[in-house]
Amino acid sequence: MWPTDLIISYSWWSIIPVLATGLIFAGILYFFNKKNKLSRFLTVVLFITRFVVVSTIAFLLLSPYLKSRISHIEKPVIIVGIDNSASILQSDDSAYYNNEFQSKLKNVLNKLGETVEVVPYLFGGEIKSGDSPDFLDGKSDYGAFFDFVKSAWSGENTGLILLIGDGNYNTGFDPVYTTQNLQVPIMAVALGDTTEKTDANIKEIRLNSTAFLDDMVPMEVTIEASQLIGQQLHLTAVGFGKTLFSQIFTIRSEHFTQSITIPVEAVKPGKQRIHIEISPLQGEKNIRNNARNVFLNVVEDKQKILLLAFSPHPDIAALNQSLKTNKNLEVTTAYIQDFKENPTNYNLIILHQLPAKNKPVKALLDQIANANIPTLFILGNQSDIAGFNSSFGGLSILSTADKTEDAFASVDPAFSLFTFSSEDQKEFNQFPPLTVPLGSYQVNPSSYLFSTQNIKGFASEIPLVLFYQNPERKTGAIVGEGIWRWRMYNFLKTGDFSTFNTFINKSVQYLIAKTDRRPFRVVAQDEFSIFDRVVLRATCFNASFEPVTTEEIPLTLTNESGERFQYLFSPNETGYTLDLGILPEGIYRYSSTAHCQGKQFTETGEFVVSGISAEAMNNQANHRTLYQLATATNGSMIYPDQIDSIPMWVDQRNLKSSISYEEKLVELESLPLLFLLIVLLLSFEWFMRKYFGTY
């Protein structure tokens, strides 16, 4: 850091009175003072001393600043991404990758670290810091790794990405697509074996996760076989305590594919496992992909939903199509001028642009409210805002002369009524804008904001989607029209309607779910992945419905084999938590008993742990993707036996350190050395005057 300028808060002409002040003080004391008995030499010395001190103090009154520059030197950064997925060890070189290769890699990274900053990450199902892979992750998401690099290292002096893996991605976006705007070269180290293996596998199973009792549900199974021509492939499906399907197929080509539709009759309520399996064939090395399990939730009752609108609108079709993807729902669409039914026949009512300006429907709204029927309001140009304000309760809009504006959605990360994945949030925030009323929004403090309005690129606290609940009823509101554009954009962007459908169905499921006022309850997801930790939560309330955390709450877990396991919940500030860890695939049932409000309550339930490692499905390396990534970014691809050449290749890239400068203003009066100088000069003057006997 070095000074480059001295700045004062006033004109530099103000230095003249500063110097004059020092001259006057020093002159009066030493040249116009008849009592001065000092020699001429001492008089001049002390005059100069007093002049410097007084002038300096007066100068500090001008609020001077010292302008300084700080230089920062940043070494070039090499980001290392190591594919930590299980497919790496499914080749014949697994022992080499677990031992010798890792030792060589660490030596290379240490050598690189002498001249550059090396930042290693492991990626697979998640991204974490480290350079010692265990190759246990059940999936590979290369696209997520590159998205992470772009967001976490944007603006840094990143010179190179060293990508180490087999290129076999099985989740997320195509990595070649995600690196289109990446301005950093990729050096890929291609692991694994690209040789096509002798293998038969169950490639895909399509089955709706929910069915109603006695429904006939189609299950589509796709099987594949490579290099097994002439052999007999035996496919079986077992569920509901019986064999649902059994057939032998003759493999008639080197690359055999067959899709079979199997009718499944849902004859028993509850969660049911269906096991699909191919008998092992001669020559197969990987038989882990020969069997799959799917789980079917068979329910007995449908929830009835009324979609009641002021007039036909594209939003109605979008809602209808989305709701019909949920087999638990029975949807009825009607228009207010033709509606004659009793609204109490429905579990949820969605009101589109009702109440309307010329159709206030107050009697209907009162009937819905008195019956405590959950309601979702969707506003539009025809909505009666005053009628909405009095009916909803969670929000009051003071509209400005019926004017509207466009507002994009911005999901509130603190929203907690239901889960909405980070991927869905990212997609939802890119949806087209809705047409919303322009005015002043007053939100009830008890409301839950799912998303706020982003207007002309500026984030706001104004709600776009919110929910409100009183002790007896749940309500929600989408304060704009045009959600049909959300559904269309979702399909154009991703090829499906999953994010839009997830938002609509989860909103509806929350509104339909009855408010739980039981003194004791256990909360668990319906389904967990085999890669997720299974976490259950419990709450126990006293008579005032305040959480109690002093009770000991046991839980008994039973697997499909009838084995029973005993656990204890751990108390926290608001309730209890039980982490069961990662469980094997299957259906689990639980029972828990607690004493709340002086009584004993028992909770029972079930959940499913499902999934198969995507890495077990395909262990053939994809070096083509690695080559595309390298060439598209002006990088290079090498093989494991060439990793010792990486430092030389990096040297040839001639990566440069970057220098940045920071300007800093320092108040002159805050400098300790200046204060010390003034004290020393004053002390010197005082000592000389006293020593030589002047007054």
Q: Are 116 and 657 in contact (CB under 8 A)?
A: no
Q: Are 547 and 575 in contact (CB under 8 A)?
A: yes
What does the pLDDT average to over 375-386? 95
Which numeric CATH code is attached to 520-610? 2.60.40.1930
511: three-class secondary structure by DSSP: helix
Q: Are 440 and 433 in contact (CB under 8 A)?
A: no
What's residue 451's pLDDT? 96
DSSP letter, residue 668: G
Pull the structure tokens for residue 101: 């290769």
* Confidence grade of residue 3 (pLDDT, cut at 50, 70, 90): very low
Q: What is the 3-state secondary structure (H, E, C) of 23-43?
A: HHHHHHHHCCCCCCCCCHHHH
What's residue 529's pLDDT? 75
CATH 3.40.50.2000 fits 76-195+620-656, yes or no: no
Domains 76-195+620-656 and 303-512 share a fold: yes
What whole-number distance in Å separates Cα of residue 8 and Cα of residue 65? 6
Which CATH superfamily groups domain 303-512?
Class I glutamine amidotransferase (GATase) domain (3.40.50.880)
Pull the structure tokens for residue 390: 């009095």
With a pLDDT cut of 70, the percent of the chain lying above it is 96
pLDDT in tens, 512-556: 876 666 789 898 877 787 777 899 999 998 877 778 888 899 999
Other Cβ atoms closer than 10 A to 203: 15
What whole-number distance in Å separates Cα of residue 512 and Cα of residue 509? 5
Other Cβ atoms closer than 10 A to 81: 23
pTM score of the predicted model: 0.51
Going by C-alpha positions, the residue among 601, 589, 597 that lies closest to residue 560 is 589
Computed over every residue of the chain, the mean pLDDT equals 87
Q: Are 214 and 266 in contact (CB under 8 A)?
A: yes
The domain limits of the chain are 2-70+664-691, 76-195+620-656, 199-299, 303-512, 520-610
Which CATH superfamily groups domain 199-299?
Immunoglobulins (2.60.40.10)
Q: Are 522 and 387 in contact (CB under 8 A)?
A: no
What whole-number distance in Å separates Cα of residue 584 and Cα of residue 612? 10
Helices 498-512 and 314-323 cross at an angle (nearest 10°) of: 80
Q: Are 188 and 163 in contact (CB under 8 A)?
A: yes
pLDDT in tens, 320-370: 999 988 877 889 999 999 999 999 999 999 999 999 998 989 999 999 999
Pull the structure tokens for residue 211: 């069915």
What's residue 9's pLDDT? 72
* Confidence grade of residue 2 (pLDDT, cut at 50, 70, 90): very low
Min mean pLDDT across 61-70, 73-82, 156-165, 637-646 is at 61-70
What whole-number distance in Å separates Cα of residue 373 and Cα of residue 364? 12
Give every CB contact of residue 430 below 8 A, 6+ residues apart in sequence.
Answer: 489, 493
pLDDT in tens, 83-127: 988 888 777 777 888 888 999 999 999 999 888 899 999 998 789
Min mean pLDDT across 407-421, 514-528, 562-576, 624-638 is at 514-528
Phi, psi of 589 (to 5 degrees): -120, 145
What's residue 411's pLDDT? 95
* Confidence grade of residue 472 (pLDDT, cut at 50, 70, 90): confident
Give me the amino acid identity at 205.
I
pLDDT in tens, 235-293: 999 999 999 999 999 999 998 999 999 999 989 888 888 999 999 999 887 787 888 88
